[in-house]
Structure 1
Amino acid sequence: MFANMVPLDPERHAHKRILRPSGYDFAQSWELIPIGFSEIVPCSMWYPVFFARREERYGVFAMLGAGNTNIFVNPDGTWKTGIIPSLVRAYPFSLSPTPEGDFTILVDESALTEEKGEPLFEEKGQPSPYLENIKTELTRIAQDLHRAESMLKEVAEEGLLTLLSVKHSFTFGSLDLKNALTTNMHAFIKIKPEKLYYFNTKGYLPLLFTQNFSLRNFALFEIFKEYQGQIPF
């Protein structure tokens, strides 16, 4: 979904402006999106949420659909729920982590214009006030993603994660989710009380429980797909 994203460059994009979309048509084919620590509980109300690991990196993802179909976007480009993942709202900007622990700002070049929209850089190549606001928001998102990753590393060491595979055919497409991770609910009885207390004080327990419960949202995908407008429940 970020195939058209490139690093924002003060030379390459010196005289470009950004024209942000008025709706969410750009996300019609998005099947999943990374989410941060603070988004796990609210997103679990609507989306199936799962964990993933790639080498030593962990992440949290919200499932938006299947078969290149985002079931949460209406034909008119409006979003069907009031909970919209932050990286969806940040488009056409995104971020990519660097080995140094920082992040690089990405931008979808198809959203750049010569005349319309907000300027990205000033004459001397300094970020415009508009871009500074974007950087502030992306920094918040990056910190939230990092906090989620830190949580997953800690709970994984205690055996609180287990493999998750989902294979199902919907009327709008097929889903084949392999080697994902979910909360291992049966592992909590083996956790030492002091470690359980520690996870509770860190705010991890509600997130782990709601993530596991969110998997029931797969059963609602057909309903979400057919419903047009704001989902009332």
Structure 2
Amino acid sequence: MFEKVVPVNRERHARTRIKEITGFGFAKDFHIAYLTMHEFARASAVYPIVFVEDKEKDAFRPVTLLGLDAGENLFIGEAGKWEASYIPAIIRRYPFALAGNGTEGHFTICLDEASDLVSVDGKDGEGSPLFDDKGEPTQVIENVKRYLSELQQMDQVTLAFSKMLAELNMFTPLQMRVREGDREKNIAGCWVVNEERLNNLSNDKFLELRSKRFLPAIYAQLMSLAQIERLMQLKDKRLAPQKGA
């Protein structure tokens, strides 16, 4: 998704304009999207939610499955339309991102200059400017700063959520065979909450999960797995024209 991420700078981006997102073609090749724990309730009604292992950081991160194959987003339709009721926040924040600046707890706003949504020189006059004529940040910057700050806070809670599940040995590999046209394939490399281990937790640990308000997210993740059937239906729909050709 991101190709040329650079820190937002008033000198470099004095004339830069950001166009409104009218399509999501930039996400057509992404078969997963990172989620924060706070998104589970809405996302679970549309997508399967699983965890992937970040071995470099020795952590698990929750993601939505957007497709059954790498490089395929089954929720992107014609003209880049997102064909689902909920769009993950990481997609909605594009072309902006946060990057650490070397100081703990401090981050720098960045943007992807390679994005079609970014007009670096602003010559076409499309979009909203990042800075005004006096070099002061516009409302665009203020809105992005607030939005990314909220996402960062949610991200920290999500990391704590995943860490506790890992410490409780709650993750188990997802072992599922799905139908894809006339053949079957295995979904591998993903982890989910083990419902049996959840039910066998001690009262103290279960109450700790409740006190941290982690239980709704856990149950949302478990229920979301039924959405794998939706992915198979969407895949079959895409393969249908090829069969008739």
TM-score (norm 1): 0.83
Conserved? CA contact 2:66–2:231, under 8 Å: no
1:56 lines up with 2:58 in the alignment: yes
1:83 lines up with 2:86 in the alignment: yes
Deviation string 1:127-169 (CA, Å, 9 cap, x unpaired) is 2222111111111112112211111111211111223366767
What is the rounded CA distance, in whole Å, between the counterparts of 2:179 and 2:99 in structure 1? 32
Distance 1:49 1:157, change over 3 A: same
RMSD: 2.6
Q: Which residue of 2 is the match for residue 122 of structure 1?
A: 132
What is the rounded CA distance, in whole Å, between the counterparts of 1:141 and 1:70 in structure 2? 23
Q: Which residue of 2 is the match for residue 68 of structure 1?
A: 71
3-state SS of paired residue (2:190):
strand
What is the rounded CA distance, in whole Å, between the counterparts of 2:219 and 2:28 in structure 1? 29
Distance 1:169 1:150, change over 3 A: same
Structure 1 unaligned segments of length 5 or more: list them. Answer: 228-233
What is the rounded CA distance, in whole Å, between the counterparts of 1:180 and 1:35 in structure 2? 14
Q: Which residue of 2 is the match for residue 107 of structure 1?
A: 111
Conserved? CA contact 2:28–2:76, under 8 Å: yes
What is the rounded CA distance, in whole Å, between the counterparts of 1:58 and 1:222 in structure 2? 25
3-state SS of paired residue (1:191):
coil
3-state SS of paired residue (1:61):
strand
3-state SS of paired residue (1:141):
helix
Distance 1:2 1:45, change over 3 A: same
3-state SS of paired residue (1:53):
strand
TM-score (norm 2): 0.80
Of 200, 204, 216, 1:206 maps to 216
The AA in structure 1 aligned to 2:107 is: F
Instruction: Name the count of aligned residue pairs.
Output: 225
What is the rounded CA distance, in whole Å, between the counterparts of 1:176 and 1:11 in structure 2? 50
Conserved? CA contact 2:97–2:148, under 8 Å: yes
Task: Give the superposition deviation at 1:47.
Answer: 0.8
Rg larger in structure: 2
Deviation string 1:37-80 (CA, Å, 9 cap, x unpaired) is 21012111111111233223442111111342211122132222
The AA in structure 2 aligned to 1:69 is: E
Conserved? CA contact 1:165–1:179, under 8 Å: no
Instruction: Percent identity, please.
Output: 29
Q: Which residue of 2 is the match for residue 230 of structure 1?
A: none
Conserved? CA contact 1:49–1:214, under 8 Å: yes
Task: Give the superposition deviation at 1:31.
Answer: 1.2
